[in-house]
Amino acid sequence: MAVSGHRRRPVVALYERIADAVHDGTYPPGSTLPSEPRLAAELGVSRPALREALLLLQEDGLLTVRRGVGRTVNARPPRRGFEHLQPLEDLIGGGTGPRVRALLRTLEEPTDFTTQHLLAPARAELRFWESLLGGEAGPAALCHEWAAADEVLDRVHPAFARALRATGADGAAEAHGGADGGADGGAVSMLSVLLGASREVALRAGGGITATLLGRRRGEQLGRPADTPAVLVTQVVRVGDVPVLAAKHMLPTGSPALPVLQSH
């Protein structure tokens, strides 16, 4: 998973610059990009590198080549994929949902998962959030998120520590440095809180995807039979070499697609 602060190959970095310009409206849907010579000059890059990046953008569905017109931005560019660090509710909801519903906000002792991924000592107390993502069509994902111990966060990412403390027991963001509680003031995910508190902090992350079955308890929470096939997505987010958040996301069959944007 590529994340902020990560060094990328030149063509990939150029791809990201243009993709960011598409997503932030510099080149809005339906617009035509400048000619290759002009765009290369504006970006300060070579034309061969630019041409390769433009071909990748075309392959990934952000651009279309129209004879006699040039390269135009597609009316509905694909959403950023799982390799970009962003909340799961944004990825599978396209910015309009699904909503986050807080099931549990508590402190707990380390599990095997958090001992391994957060390097938590045996008697540490870790913040644990259990959330259900869903909308009108029903539950879409079950999310388990853990933060590193407070003393670790106070040392490596105090803004995130403050943001977590400012989040109410119902999971709603109160006043934590920019994280958005949603249009209806509802709950937010822990990753959303982390990103809102990390405007000046470089993050890096890794993740994994595994096929599994829901099981009885998770099936009850998601309203599905225990033997429903599902995808388990894991994430670990770090500041430098220090893990600050670990998560498991369970997406059963029928959940919205999790987009993955790839390039070569």
Is residue 127 predicted with pLDDT exceeding 90? yes
CB 50 within 8 A of CB 35: no
Average pLDDT over residues 254-261: 77
Torsion of CA 182, 184, 189, 190, to 10 degrees: 70
Which DSSP state fits 76?
S
pLDDT given for residue 238 in this prediction: 94
Structure tokens belonging to residue 73: 């931005």
> 137 falls in which pLDDT band (50, 70, 90)?
confident
More confident residue, 57 or 12: 57
Q: What is the mean pLDDT of the chain?
A: 82
User: pTM to 2 decimals?
Assistant: 0.66
Q: How far is it, in rounded angstroms, from Cα 231 to Cα 237?
A: 20
More confident residue, 105 or 4: 105
Q: What is the pLDDT of residues 81-102, one digit of tens each?
A: 565 688 888 888 655 557 899 9
Is residue 169 predicted with pLDDT exceeding 70? no
Is residue 181 predicted with pLDDT exceeding 60? no
Average pLDDT over residues 183-204: 83
pLDDT given for residue 179 in this prediction: 41
* Cα diameter, the chain: 67
User: Does the bond joining 158 to the residue before it have cis omega, within 30 degrees of 0?
Assistant: no
Which DSSP state fits 32?
B
Lowest mean per-residue pLDDT among 9-18, 41-50, 117-126, 150-159? 9-18
Is residue 55 predicted with pLDDT exceeding 80? yes
Is residue 253 predicted with pLDDT exceeding 60? yes
Q: What is the pLDDT of residues 141-152, one digit of tens each?
A: 999 999 999 999
Is residue 161 predicted with pLDDT exceeding 50? yes
> 78 falls in which pLDDT band (50, 70, 90)?
low
Which burial class, exposed, middle or buried, applies to 38 when counting CB atoms under 10 A from its CB (0-12, 13-18, 19+)? exposed
Order across the sheet with 242-252: list the strands: 99-108, 126-135, 138-147, 242-252, 229-239, 204-213
Q: How far is it, in rounded angstroms, from Cα 75 to Cα 62?
A: 9
Is residue 180 predicted with pLDDT exceeding 50? no
Structure tokens belonging to residue 75: 């009316």
More confident residue, 29 or 128: 128
- Domains of the chain are 10-73 (1.10.10.10), 88-252 (3.40.1410.10)
Residue 223's closest CA among 189, 252, 249?
252
> Percent of the chain, pLDDT > 90?
46
